[in-house]
Amino acid sequence: MASSLRSFTYTYSGSAENQSNPAADVDAVADASAVTDDQFYVLNNGGMATAGDGDGICTSQSVTGQLSINGADSDEKNGQRRVNYTVFSPRRVSFSSGNNNSALTFTIKGLNEGGLEVSETLTGPNAASVYTVNLYSRVDLIYSDGTTNALTVGDNAGYVDFGNLCRQIDITSDGNSSSITYTVAGLDVYGKYQTEDIVGPSSATRTGSKFFKFVSSIKASASDSNSVSAGVVAGIRIMINNQDTRLKNWYLVQAANAAKAEITMENGATSIATGSSKLIFNPGQGDGVVNYPSIGGSGIRFPTSMSFDMPVDADLLTSATFMYDG
């Protein structure tokens, strides 16, 4: 275990589509739209999302053979240009064009979401976008078996990086989408690859059960002409540290309703289950009061991970700061 002291601060926000706001938001991940083309991928363009860059890997090219990796997301390493998204931010790579490239087969090579070498082939797009099956943390090479026609390569669908403030995802439809399954792909609270299938709702919202720290893509099983959005479920799983941790000190700035809820520090929480309680604290009444709960000189060990769930209560706390080893 590392000997240097680290810190993490959660600061509550009541602003709409702020990642620190624990309230539900039906379009925080993807704004409402029909899902009718581009292999039925939902564009992650909501208020908590980072918009995709459709030519971030390769700007528009009409070439034969190897494409030049020259987009804004690329850099040079040992004389070779590549795109390094990192394992903390893996993307589904898009191939896009306003022209017909469907007679071409593309090969892409790089590293997957776990940092392992991976390659695949895919058929080019026809006035649309097509996407890789794999998530890529790094893209090293892209090759075409023929001449491309004004083709770009990037991460057109966008992504959502929740970081430590992990969220569950929901799907909302203004019509009957119950025959369609929406698959969310990304990283769990430990940074490992996970997916979740959410059956489409009928003029309602259907919530997922898994917490995600990163959403790489959302894909429908078929075309959906209804207006469909993706958002976040109420509540945040705050994963302070996802490894062996010793809490040394912490303090909270209380809010008006601090007496109405307890904060439970947990060990070993996952994306689908709460962990074991290691420390329960009821802040007590006192808007603006800074509270320093006593935990003893040697601290409290969380052998797997240290987290707590932030409920939807705008007046529970203003902020919480944790000092720890690990």
Q: Is the pLDDT of residue 165 over 60?
A: yes
When pLDDT is averaged across residues 133-153 and rounded to a whole number, the result is: 97
With a cut of 50, say whether residue 289 has pLDDT above it: yes
Asked whether residue 290 falls in the same domain as residue 317, the answer is yes
Q: Is 193 contained in some domain?
A: yes
At residue 262, the pLDDT reads: 73
Average pLDDT over residues 244-273: 86
Helix or strand (DSSP H, E) at 73: none
pLDDT at 314: 62
pLDDT tier, 251 (very low <50, low <70, confident <90, very high otherwise)? confident
Residue 49 belongs to a domain:
no
Residue in 67, 53, 55, 69 with CA at minimum distance from that of residue 148: 67
Q: For residue 283, is pLDDT > 90?
A: no
320 and 185 fall within a common domain: no
> How confident is residue 317, by pLDDT bands cut at 50, 70 and 90?
confident
Residue 51, in any domain of the structure: no
Residues 101, 175, single domain; the answer is no
Is it the case that residue 298 has pLDDT exceeding 60?
yes
The pLDDT score that the predictor gives to residue 239 is 97
Q: Is the pLDDT of residue 1 over 70?
A: no
DSSP structural state of residue 80: E
**Do the domain assignments include residue 50?**
no
Do 67 and 132 reside in the same domain of the chain? yes
Identify the CA nearest to 22 among candidates 211, 232, 323: 232
Same domain for 251 and 169?
no
* For residues 61-74, average pLDDT: 97
Cα(63)–Cα(70) distance, rounded to whole angstroms? 13
Helix (H, G, I), strand (E, B) or coil at 231: strand
The whole-number average pLDDT for the span 151-158 is: 96
Q: Say what the pLDDT of residue 224 is.
A: 97
C-beta atoms surrounding 273 within 10 Å:
10
Domain co-membership, 104 together with 140: yes
Rounded to 5 degrees, what are φ and ψ at 228? -120, 135
pLDDT tens across 212-239, in order? Answer: 999 999 999 999 999 999 999 999 999 9
Residue 193: pLDDT over 90:
yes
**Considering 200, 233, 266, which residue would you say is the last residue of a domain?**
233
- Which one, of 256, 320, 269, 326, lies nearest residue 293 by Cα? 320
Which of 202, 233, 264 is the last residue before a domain boundary?
233
Whether residue 308 contacts residue 279, with contact meaning beta carbons closer than 8 Å, is answered with no
The answer to whether the CB of 308 falls within 8 A of the CB of 264 is yes
The answer to whether 41 touches 33, Cβ cutoff 8 Å, is no
d(CA 309, CA 236): 6
Residues 143 and 97 in one domain: yes
Strand partners, 291: 252
- CA 202, 204, 208, 212 dihedral sign is positive
Q: Both 196 and 117 in a single domain?
A: no
Average pLDDT in the chain: 93
pLDDT in tens, 69-87: 999 999 998 889 999 999 9
Residues 127, 133, 139, 141, Cα dihedral to 10°: -70
- Alpha carbon distance 70, 201 (integer Å): 41
Encoding tokens for residue 13?
């926000």
* Whether residue 11 is found in the same domain as residue 36: no
pLDDT of residue 261: 64
Domain total in the chain: 3
Q: Do 260 and 206 lie in a common domain?
A: no
List, for residues 266-278, the tens digit of each pLDDT value: 999 999 999 999 9
Residue 247 has pLDDT above 60, yes or no: yes
Domain end position, chosen among 154, 185, 210: 154
Domain annotation covers residue 113: yes
The number of C-alpha atoms within 13 Å of 121 and in the hemisphere containing its C-beta is: 7
Q: Alpha-carbon distance 41 to 36, whole Å?
A: 9
Domain of 173 in residue numbering reads as 25-42+163-233
**Judgement on whether residues 129 and 188 belong to the same structural domain of the protein:** no
Neighbours of 20 (CB within 10 A): 15
pLDDT of residue 258: 63
Measured distance CA(114)–CA(124) in Å, rounded: 26
The pLDDT confidence band at residue 322, using thresholds 50, 70 and 90, is very high
Percent pLDDT > 70 in the chain is 95
Using DSSP's 3-state secondary structure scheme, residue 163 falls into coil
Residues 197-228 as b or e (16 or more Cβ within 10 Å = b): ebebbeeeebbbebbbbbbbbbbbeeebebeb
